[in-house]
A and B are shown apart, each in its own frame.
Chain A
Amino acid sequence: MAEMHSPMEQFEIKRLLDLKIGGLDVSFTNSSFWMIVAVIAATGVFVVGMRQRALVPGKLQSVAELGYEFIAGMVRDNVGDAGKQYFPFIFTLFIFILFANVLGMVPYSFTPTSHIVVTFAMALFVFLGVTIIGFAKHGLHFFSFFVPKGVPFVLVPLLVFIEVISYLIRPVSLSVRLFANMLAGHTMLKVFGGFVVAMGLLGGWAPLAFIVALTGLELLIAFLQAYVFAILTCLYLNDAIHLSH
Chain B
Amino acid sequence: MDASAAKLIGAGLATIALAGVGVGIGNIFGSFVSGALRNPEAAPRVFGNVLLGFALTEAVALFALVIAFMILFVF
Binding site for B on A (CB under 8 A): 8, 173, 176-177, 179-181, 183-184, 221, 224-225, 227-228, 231
Contacts and interface: CB of A to CB of B under 8 A. Distances in A.
Interface of B: 51-52, 54-56, 58-59, 62-63, 65-66, 69, 73
A182 to B, nearest CB: 9
A176 B63 contact: yes
Nearest to A185: B62
Contact of A228 (B56, B62, B65, B66): B56
Contact of A180 (B54, B65, B73): B65
Given A180-B59, A231-B52, 9 more contacts: A8-B73, A173-B59, A179-B66, A184-B65, A224-B51, A224-B52, A227-B51, A227-B52, A228-B59
Nearest to B69: A183
21 contacts: A8-B73, A176-B62, A177-B55, A177-B56, A179-B66, A180-B62, A180-B63, A181-B58, A183-B62, A183-B66, A183-B69, A221-B55, A224-B51, A224-B52, A224-B54, A224-B55, A225-B55, A227-B51, A227-B52, A228-B59, A231-B52
Nearest to A116: B66
A228 B52 contact: yes
A228 B51 CA distance: 9
A120 B56 CA distance: 17
B59 A177 contact: yes
Give chain B's interface secondary structure class: helix
Contacts of B58: 181
A165 B36 CA distance: 37
B66 A180 contact: yes
A176 B66 CA distance: 8
A213 B69 CA distance: 25
A184 B62 contact: yes
B53 to A, nearest CB: 10
A224 to B, nearest CB: 5
* In the A-B complex, the 4 residue pairs with the closest CB atoms: A180-B62, A177-B59, A224-B55, A228-B55
A180 B17 CA distance: 15
A224 B62 CA distance: 15
Contacts of A221: 55
A90 B73 CA distance: 34
A67 to B, nearest CB: 15
A124 to B, nearest CB: 18
A41 B30 CA distance: 39
Contacts of A224: 51-52, 54-55
Contacts of A225: 55
Nearest to B51: A224
Nearest to A174: B59
Q: By CB atoms of chain B within 10 A, which of A184, A221, A231 has the most?
A: A184
B67 to A, nearest CB: 10
Nearest to B58: A181
